[in-house]
A and B are shown apart, each in its own frame.
Chain A
Amino acid sequence: MNTVVLVKQVPDTWAERSLSSADKTLNREGVDAVINELDEYAVEEALRLKEAHGGTVTVLSMGPARVTETIRKVLSMGVDAGIHVTDDALHGSDAIQTARAIAAALGTVGWDLVLTGVESTDARMSVLPALLAELLGVAQLSRARAVTVDGQVVRIERSTDDGYQVVEATLPAVLSVVEKINEPRYPSFKGIMQAKSKPVTTLGVADLGLAAGEVGLAAAYSQVTEVDQRLDRQVGQVVKDEGDGGVKIADYLVARKLV
C-alpha cells in the first residue's frame, strides 16, 4: 500500500500571528515556521500502516522555499521521499485552489491512500480532505480516531460531536486523522542522517498542468476585504476569593442578566 501524507508548514501557534497589511495573506516573515502539529499524527499513522502492510510513504507539502525544512523533518521521522509543490504563482491561493494544486500534484505519483491531519492550526478550515476526495473522485474517510486496513478495505472510527461512527470504504481513499489516534514518534539520530539523502521532487505550477491564472490570490473565489488585529475584548475584572467568590459570580451574572 502506497501512501502520500500531506503536511503543512504553519506559523508557530504560540507566536503572535498576523495577516500582511499589503495583501491580507498570512504573514510568514519573522515568525517561527513549524510543521502543523496535527499533521504529525498523520505522518505517524502513515508510518504505522507501512510497518503493518508494507509499501512506501511519500510526504507532500505546498508552500514557499522554507517548507523544505518541514519536509526534511518528516523524512527524518522515517518517510521515504518528498514532494515540494512550490511556485510564486501559488501565493494567496484559497482552500479550493490549494486543493486543486495538491490534487494535480498527487496525479504525478501512484498512491492508494492520501493521509492528512484534521486541520491546520493557522487556517483551521478542516475542509482539505473533503475537497481532495471530491477532486480525486475517491472515498472520503475523514476525522479518524482509529484506522484498520484489511486488503483493499479501510475501516475508521470517525469522531463526531457526540461519539463516533464506524465508516468503511474501499481504496483508494483520502483519510484524515484526529490527534487522539496515536502518539507521534520523534526523529531518531539515524533518521535525521538518512533524511539528508532522501529524494525530494520539486513541482511548479507548470509541472502540475495548471495555468498561473488558475491559482493564487488574484484568482481566488473568496477574498479577505478587511482585517482587524485589535482584540475587541475589554480587560475584565479579576477578584480574589475571600470566601465569597461564588456569591460574587452570582452577583455578576444577575447584574448582566445572564441568569
Chain B
Amino acid sequence: MAEVLVLVEHARGAVKKVTLELLTAARSLGVPGAVVFGPPGTAAALADRLAEYGAVAVHAAEADDIDDYLVAPKVDVLAAMVTDRAPTALLVASTAESREVAARVAVRTGNGLITDAVGLDADRTATQSIFGGAVTVRSTVRTGTAVITMRPNSVDAVPAPAGVELHPVPVSLSDEARRSRIVERVEEARSSRPELAEASVVVSGGRGVGSAANFAVIEQLADALGAAVGASRAATDAGWYPHSAQVGQTGVTVSPQLYIAAGISGAIQHRAGMQTSKTIIAINKDPEAPIFEIADFGVVGDLFAVVPQLVEELARRAG
C-alpha cells in the first residue's frame, strides 16, 4: 500500500493534536509514516503516541541545531524523502511554518500543492473553504505526490494502534539551509489554556469588551468551557489582548467544534478565520450585526450581562 508522510508538530515533548488528526486522515490514503524534527532523542519520546494513531514508521530527522534555522532544513530532509520514497501524499498542518515547508518541498520536488484543506478523500481530493467561507471547492493534485496542508480540527483524531519502527534519517545542514537563523524565540501569550488553532472550543472577544481588564469576562467563560481565548483585530489593535490571539484573515484561522463571539461585529476579515467552526454562538447588542448571519445561535444583548450569567449557569449545572 502507498505510503503517506506526515510532518509531526510537537511542543514541550508532546505531539500536537493536529498531527493525530493528520495521521487519521493519512490512514484513508495509505500507510502513515511520521517525520519528526528536533534534537536527538525527540522522535523516540514521541513514537508511542504516534503509533497509537497508526504511524507504522517514525522517521527521526534529528540534529542539535536543526531548530535554529527557519524552514529550509526541514525542506532539505522532506524533499529528499519525497524524492526517494515517492509517497502518495505529504500531509502537514496549516500552520505558518509548516505551510511554508510544504510549499518549498512541492516546488523542489515538482509536485502539486493544496493548502488549508478542511477535508480529504481516499483519492486525494481535498476540500477547501474559500472567500471567507462563502465558497467550497474540491481540488486534486495531478502529480505523483500530493503535498497537502490541513486546517486543524478538520478531521476527528481516531486511534488505530500500530507497531512502530524508528528510522533515523541522516541530517546534514548545508550552508543554504542555514541562511535564515533564528536568534531568539519569544512567547508572548503562554497560558495554561489550549492552543488557539487547535482548541475544540474558542471564546473570542471584540471591541465590545471595551478594555484589557474586561477581557477577564471572556477568560472566565473560556475557562468554564476549557476553551482557548481569541480576539478580533479591533481588540488586539487596541492592545487589550496579544496579537497571537487574533482570529481572522491576518490572524489565526480556527475551526473548532464551538466558537463563541462576544462583542464582535463579524466583519468579513474576522469571518475568514472562523467561519468553518462547527457551531457558532454570537452575543452582540446590535441585532443588525453581521455575525448573526452566520451564528447557529445568537443572543441580542449586553455581553456583560449574558456572559457572566452563562458562566454561572454552567457552574450550577456542573455543580
Chain A contact surface mostly: mixed
Which partner residue on chain B sits nearest A11 by CB separation?
Answer: B131
Distance in Å: Cβ of A165 to nearest Cβ of chain B: 5
Contact A166–B299 (Cβ < 8 Å) = no
What 0/1 readout, one digit per residue, does chain B (250-289) give for beta carbons within 8 Å of chain A?
1010000110000000001100100100011101000100
Contact B269–A258 (Cβ < 8 Å) = no
Distance in Å: Cβ of B114 to nearest Cβ of chain A: 6
What 0/1 readout, one digit per residue, does chain A (113-138) give for beta carbons within 8 Å of chain B?
00000110111111101110111011
Say if the beta carbon of A241 comes within 8 Å of chain B: yes
Say if the beta carbon of A247 comes within 8 Å of chain B: yes
* Known interface pairs A123-B130, A134-B75, A227-B135; 4 further A-B residue pairs with C-beta atoms within 8 A, sorted by A's residue number: A17-B134, A19-B137, A122-B131, A168-B180
- CB-CB < 8 A to B172: which residues of A? none
Contact A163–B112 (Cβ < 8 Å) = no
Q: Which of B31-39, B43-51, B153-161, B302-310 contacts A (4 or more CB under 8 A)?
A: B302-310
* B interface residue count range (under 10 / 10 to 19 / 20 to 34 / 35 or more): 35 or more
Distance in Å: Cβ of A119 to nearest Cβ of chain B: 8
Contact B70–A140 (Cβ < 8 Å) = yes
- CB-CB < 8 A to A14: which residues of B? 268
Contact B244–A135 (Cβ < 8 Å) = no
Choice from B141, B268, B306 contacting A221 with Cβ under 8 Å: B141
Known A162-B188, A222-B113; judge A167-B299 contact (CB<8 A).
no
Count, A-B residue pairs, CB within 8 A: 268
A222 to B102, CA, bound (A): 14
What 0/1 readout, one digit per residue, does chain B (296-319) give for beta carbons within 8 Å of chain A?
111111100111111111100100
Q: Could you show 30 A-B contacts with beta carbons less than 8 Å apart? A: A13-B268, A96-B113, A99-B107, A125-B99, A125-B116, A130-B99, A130-B104, A131-B103, A141-B180, A161-B95, A161-B96, A162-B187, A162-B189, A163-B188, A165-B185, A167-B70, A168-B181, A173-B179, A223-B139, A225-B139, A228-B136, A231-B133, A241-B301, A241-B306, A245-B283, A245-B301, A246-B307, A246-B313, A250-B314, A258-B258
- CB-CB < 8 A to A225: which residues of B? 125, 138-140
Known A124-B116, A131-B103, A161-B95; judge A237-B130 contact (CB<8 A).
no
Which partner residue on chain B sits nearest A174 by CB separation?
Answer: B180
Known A96-B106, A163-B185; judge A246-B310 contact (CB<8 A).
yes
- CB-CB < 8 A to A121: which residues of B? 249
A126 to B141, CA, bound (A): 19
Q: Which of B53-61, B81-89, B190-198 contacts A (4 or more CB under 8 A)?
A: B190-198
- CB-CB < 8 A to B135: which residues of A? 17-19, 227-229
Known A161-B244, A246-B306; judge A252-B297 contact (CB<8 A).
yes
Say if the beta carbon of B186 comes within 8 Å of chain A: yes
Say if the beta carbon of B108 comes within 8 Å of chain A: yes
Which partner residue on chain B sits nearest A18 by CB separation?
Answer: B135
- CB-CB < 8 A to B110: which residues of A? 221
- CB-CB < 8 A to B143: which residues of A? 221
Which partner residue on chain B sits nearest A232 by CB separation?
Answer: B136
Contact A135–B107 (Cβ < 8 Å) = yes
Contact B96–A126 (Cβ < 8 Å) = yes
